[in-house]
Chains A and B, each alone.
Chain A
Amino acid sequence: MIVEIGHFALVLALGVAIVQGVVPLMASSVNNRRWMGIAGPASIAQFLLLCVSFAALTHAYVTSDFSVLNVANNSHTDKPMLYKVSGVWGNHEGSMLLWVLILATFGCAVEVFGRNLPTGLKSRTLAVQSLITVGFLMFILFTSNPFERLINVPINGNSLNPLLQDPGLAFHPPFLYLGYVGFSIAYSFAMAALIEGRVDASWARWVRPWTLAAWVFLTIGIGLGSWWAYYELGWGGWWFWDPVENASFMPWLAGTALLHSAIVVEKRGALKNWTIFLAIIAFGLSLMGTFLVRSGVLTSVHAFATDPERGIFILILLCIAIGGSFALYALRGPSLSGGGLFKPISREGSLLFNNWILTTATGVVLLGTLYPLFIDAIDAGKVSVGAPFYNRVFIPIMTPLVILMALGPLMSWKRTDAKAVLSRLYLVYGATLVAVVLTYILKGDDGWGGYFGMGLATWLATGVLWDLAERIKLGRTSFGDSMKRLIRQPRATWGMTIAHFGLAITIAGMTGAGNWKVENIQVMQFGEQLDVAGYTYTFESVRDVRGPNYDALEGTFTVHKGDKYITTLKSENRHYDTGGMPTTEAAIYTMFLGDLYAVVGDKSGDGYVTRLYWNPLVAWLWGGTLLLALGGVVSLTDRRHRIGAPKRAQKAAATEGAKA
């Protein structure tokens, strides 16, 4: 019964979404305020209905109701409760339901937090948002219904993928989706602005926090996914440039560009139609990511062969959503130009340059991801594009961006004297030089990647700190006064400082993990010792252990540095009762300068295959990513976001309009 209620709520939500998508748009074209107002209550109703629907599916998972096909296929009686719940979105149908639920949540949030938005802009935004929901609800109801019943009820369920039973993987899809779907708000605002034909500072002020929130979620989601790959796949890698990862990375790059260009619209009224364009592609790439992952166009998925309808449905959705918005952009975009003028060397100029680079980088990832598809489509064979391509292309593209990141915040709006900026930075040059030389001395001739990366990280980190020092006039006024200024810095400045500094840390982590990793793969017998990067591993024992629903082979190492005991590492090789691929739980001991990482594999002769790694600076990678997200959160709490779009901004926009 509860399952049917969930199904029914889903159908009702579709009805509400259609009303919310159509009526306000029609009403706002004839400026009927009453009917425009329907968007608000409808968005709340839609949200509540989808909550009911999602709760019903969750209930079916929690109670292991195997009369539901989706539950029978993706859950198992023996699963721990946590994974029964995460199983709800661990499959195609359920994850799509989560998608629309988040979509509706964001719509509802616009209604709740957007009380002081202009009625026209709000109702149009909610209508566009709802039209996206309509598309996805139809997709769910017609091709991927999670509430489908099964006539012959199995006893235990048939969960086949034990890899999904992991906290890292259980929680990274919701974050990714919050990020993907969060960009839908920026997109809906952009569409509403195109329909209205008006983009001003208050518009940008409204779009930015939503984009920022989505970006924070996406950053955390990507970080979690990468962390999961690191400890679960057992190869010590943290980024593989596979299509699924790229699908989340492209919206991230585009979203990062959008965050920065929205600042220019807000402060200076320039780059309007460029910002609109970025809002379209950020969400467009999220949609495309869904398409690539779900349709099986790129990866061979068994389910696809049985169900090409899904792929075609998403393709049509994509055509309407992105094609439609690009068409609208082509027609209306030209009328949105204008705004503050600026010289190439200025704050605006550096932000525009940032945008070009990020967009180019997005294009490169897009090309790399789709290249195999292009080749296959013209029947030239099947190829795959791997890490070497990305490393070779990506690093040269991103390097100027990182160099500029340290300089941009030091520049003033409109125009800047480049020489004056550059001549102030002697401390930054010095620190960078020291880092390069120090890395060279410590690591020797290990390829240029090492000291180049460390130099870049130091350049950015010290550049960020220098900028902060200038802002608080450190050394140019009394220390007490500087501290007062430090406290009074707006949260947005703090956010930027933390996030940019976080990226510097991440770059250092990538450099370390990418260049100085040590890996040893060998057969070891009990008691045997091996030296990896200065740490002595002793292979102690192997024993069988029993988990809640799996058997595992547990390998134990003790690690010493010289005579000093460091830690005991226990890795697991799990075989789940339900069958499927065995999974690896690597044993990891994290230290400031690197991770000790050990995996015990299969038996070979009278020993075991062991893989021992030294992964330098990996913790910096995750730490830096966290700082990036934290920076976003801090910036989100900035005063000007909390008080919404103030009258002042509208006045400013008006005076600007008067000037022009």
Chain B
Amino acid sequence: MKSRLFFFIPLILFGVLILYFAVGLTKDPSKLDTDVLLNQPMGDFKLVPVQGRSEGLTIDDVKGQVSLVNFFGSWCVACLQEHPFFLQLKENNVIPLYGVDWDEKKPNDVVRWLARHGDPYTKIGVDVTGETIIDWGITGAPETFVVDKEGIIRYKHIGPITERSWRETLWPLIVELRKQ
């Protein structure tokens, strides 16, 4: 009988391993660094306009109401995934969406990109020096932040916004923040 139980050892050990994996899956190893910014006020920034436009983007534009700040670039394929959704947001006047364009090869690239795919942004600033990217802890594009009325960063979304993430996370949070 004892030796029969012996054969269960691999199964039991494997069960323990799976438990750890399941817990491990809920933890994103990259989270530590990026969460540091949460619930902190935005650092000061003043970004230049897109080529051919007059208005850039400053910290005062973003403050005052709950808004989204989206980091994008014309080189970013995944940004196109969330683009149609952003256009809808603008059409229905849901929430102000500010764009920070970064890492362009040529200043003209983003102009062509916006002309081709449409411009969903309330205002766009171009981060030429890369300082704002570092301040906000950007690791790639697209990344989208929810900022409250006081200018405090409340949420960071990595990757394209999907209908599901909007419905389940972003929109409830925005409603909540608007109540405050």
Contact = CB atoms under 8 A, between A and B. Distances in A.
A pairs with B? yes
A323 B15 contact: yes
Interface string B2-21: 01100110110011011011
B130 interface: no
A319 B18 CA distance: 7
Contact of B11 (A304, A311, A315, A326): A326
A19 B72 CA distance: 46
A147 interface: no
Interface of B is mostly: helix
A377 B76 CA distance: 34
B140 interface: yes
A187 interface: no
A326 B10 contact: yes
Which size bracket describes the interface of B in this complex?
35 or more
Interface in B20-42: 20-25, 27-32
Interface of A is mostly: helix
A333 interface: yes
B7 A306 contact: no
A295 B139 contact: no
A281 B11 CA distance: 11
Which of B31, B32, B78, B160 counts the most chain A CB atoms within 10 A?
A: B78
A326 B18 CA distance: 13
A291 B21 contact: yes
A528 interface: no
B80 interface: yes
Contact of B14 (A295, A315, A326): A326
B178 interface: no
Contacts of B21: 291, 297, 315, 318, 373
A73 interface: yes
Contacts of A579: 75, 105
A322 B11 CA distance: 8
Contact of A377 (B7, B20, B160): B20
A334 B11 contact: no
Nearest to B142: A306
Given A297-B24, A297-B25, A377-B23, A329 B7 contact: yes
B10 A334 contact: no
Given A318-B18, A334-B3, A312 B25 contact: yes
A152 B160 CA distance: 15
Contacts of A306: 158-160
B10 A370 contact: no
Contacts of B46: none
A308 B22 CA distance: 11
Contacts of B32: 382
Interface string B110-140: 0000001100000000000000000000011
B77 interface: yes
Contacts of A377: 20, 23-24, 27
A331 B7 CA distance: 8
A280 B10 CA distance: 10
Given A330-B8, A377-B20, A323 B140 contact: no
A304 B77 contact: no
A564 interface: no
29 contacts: A73-B77, A151-B84, A152-B116, A152-B117, A154-B77, A158-B75, A158-B76, A273-B7, A281-B10, A284-B14, A297-B25, A298-B29, A299-B29, A300-B28, A300-B29, A300-B30, A306-B158, A306-B159, A307-B159, A308-B25, A311-B25, A323-B11, A323-B15, A326-B10, A330-B8, A370-B20, A373-B21, A377-B24, A382-B29
Given A152-B83, A297-B24, 14 more contacts: A151-B80, A151-B84, A158-B75, A277-B10, A291-B21, A298-B29, A305-B158, A306-B159, A308-B25, A311-B25, A315-B25, A318-B21, A329-B7, A331-B7
Interface of A: 69, 72-73, 150-152, 154, 158, 273, 277, 280-281, 284, 291, 295-308, 311-312, 315, 318-319, 322-323, 326-327, 329-331, 333-334, 370, 373-374, 376-377, 382, 579
